Structure 1
Amino acid sequence: MTQNHDDHGHAHSELSDMDLRVRALETVLTQKGYIDPAALDVLIDTYQTRIGPRNGALVVARSWVDPAYRDWLRADASAAIASLGYSGRQGEHMVAVENTPALHNMVVCTLCSCYPWPVLGLPPTWYKSAAYRARAVKDPRGVLADFGVTLPEAARIRIWDSTAEVRYLVIPERPAGTEALDEAQLAALVSRDSMIGTALVHAATQAPAPGTSA
């Protein structure tokens, strides 16, 4: 296992401070009756699990169908991602790392919760937990097993440690049997967790097309 550790002694308090301010503001507004906590939870869930990760999924799908785009993404992820309209704060300096049968990439932020918001939405609670931040480095196979992922023993695992300067996007392997799918259908296969590296992409997970039943 290869680890990519950087000096975290810079700007990591920014997200934590913002989180504290948001929580404090939410408490005040709730007490004054300006917001409904239940409605806010639904809104947060929408951006955390549906809208936000769809941006990254479209990036992945484009890389699967367009070799030139894939090469650009690997060479300059920030520019390639921005070309699809996904840019902004917390996503200025992106690096794309590609999974292969021999190499599995997984992303963590060991000292905070640096995360590429423009392509993955809001970070999941587990990504910010002390348990994940510590175990992802020490026992990545164990963490993957907790997420239901078992890799071949020969597969190498590389941990990428996000910082305030650099954030990572995992490009998962395209599953077999998807040759006939178009770009939108491929994007429907890609989950947020697969772009962090804690899940794999399977053809059977394809979401039904709008207006159809599963």
Structure 2
Amino acid sequence: MNDKSGHAHSELPEVALRVRALETILVDKGYVDPAALDAIVETYEIKIGPRNGARVVAKAWTDARFRERLLTNATSAIGELGFGGRQGEHMVAVENTPKQHNLIVCTLCSCYPWPVLGLPPVWYKSPAYRSRAVLDPRGVLAEFGLTLAADTEIRVWDSTAELRYLVVPMRPEKTDGFSEEQLAALVTRDSMIGVGLALSPQFGGEKS
């Protein structure tokens, strides 16, 4: 159901309740190890899911024509790499620059681009993040360990059921000659939400 802002709540809460009920039953019967479930969720939330988005970003860093298509029609460009579907039907890519940093939030629920980022992190769905990202984005970024120059504009994008956003972080320095695979290893989930930056080469994806 849409509210007056045209911002539709996702079906995630109902689905989450059903999953939690099923999980409780399976754990109580001894069929499932809670630690194993946590490991699986972490894998899809942090490792597997965001790898799709990382490939998109790495492609944009190395292919100027693809970057242009991505910024013009993100849904179509992302589809070129085989990613799309539910929760990713209408994508918009926003690019970080030295003068502008983009931050993604969903103020009313937890709209999130699953095809490129996997499962949304818990903090993304929290009321504190959803409100403070708009009211005090610079303070929120500082809490994530990201301090930007005072003259860097922070633009906050509010996801809806109609539009989901993907941040294209700035390409790290000293990555000339890196392959797309090596560059993708530098792209984190947080950098594609806007609460972080891409990793420096010494922290991952170093050229061999």
Is TM-score (shorter-chain normalized) higher than 0.5?
Answer: yes
SS in 1 for 2:187: coil
CA distance in 2, matches of 1:194, 1:51: 15
Give the direction of change, closer, same or farther, for the CA distance of 1:13–1:176 in structure 2 (3 Å limit): closer
Instruction: Work out which of the residue numbers 59, 78, 83 in structure 2 matches 1:81.
Output: 78
Give me the TM-score of the superposition, normalised by structure 1.
Answer: 0.91
Instruction: Work out which of the residue numbers 187, 194, 198 in structure 2 matches 1:197.
Output: 194
Q: CA deviation at 1:91?
A: 1.0
Q: Provide the residue aligned with 1:172 in structure 2.
A: 169
SS in 2 for 1:142: helix
Q: CA deviation at 1:8?
A: 4.9
CA distance in 2, matches of 1:171, 1:62: 11
Q: Provide the residue aligned with 1:3 in structure 2.
A: none
Instruction: Work out which of the residue numbers 156, 160, 181 in structure 2 matches 1:159.
Output: 156
List 4+ stretches of structure 1 deviating above 6 A.
none
Matched, 1:105 2:102: yes
CA distance in 2, matches of 1:32, 1:147: 39
CA distance in 2, matches of 1:169, 1:13: 18
CA distance in 2, matches of 1:173, 1:8: 31
Matched, 1:32 2:33: no
Gaps of 5+ in 1: 1-5
Would you say how many aligned residue pairs link Structure 1 and Structure 2? 204
Which amino acid letter does the alignment assign opposite residue 204 of structure 1? Q
The Cα RMSD (Å) is 1.6
Which amino acid letter does the alignment assign opposite residue 185 of structure 2? A
Q: Provide the residue aligned with 1:122 in structure 2.
A: 119
Give me the TM-score of the superposition, normalised by structure 2.
Answer: 0.93
CA distance in 2, matches of 1:16, 1:116: 16
Which amino acid letter does the alignment assign opposite residue 114 of structure 1? C
SS in 2 for 1:135: helix
Q: Which has the higher contact order (CA 8 A, sep 6+)?
A: 1
Superimposed CA distance per residue, residues 153-208 of structure 1 (whole angstroms, 9 cap, x where no aligned partner): 11111100011111100000011111121111000000000000000123332246
Q: Provide the residue aligned with 2:5 in structure 1.
A: 7
Give the direction of change, closer, same or farther, for the CA distance of 1:104–1:9 in structure 2 (3 Å limit): closer
Matched, 1:44 2:44: no
Which stretch of the first structure deviates more once superposed, 21-30 or 56-65?
21-30
SS in 2 for 1:47: helix
Give % identity. Answer: 62
Gaps of 5+ in 2: none
CA distance in 1, matches of 2:139, 2:202: 25
CA distance in 2, matches of 1:48, 1:13: 18
Q: CA deviation at 1:9?
A: 4.5
SS in 1 for 2:182: helix
SS in 1 for 2:11: helix
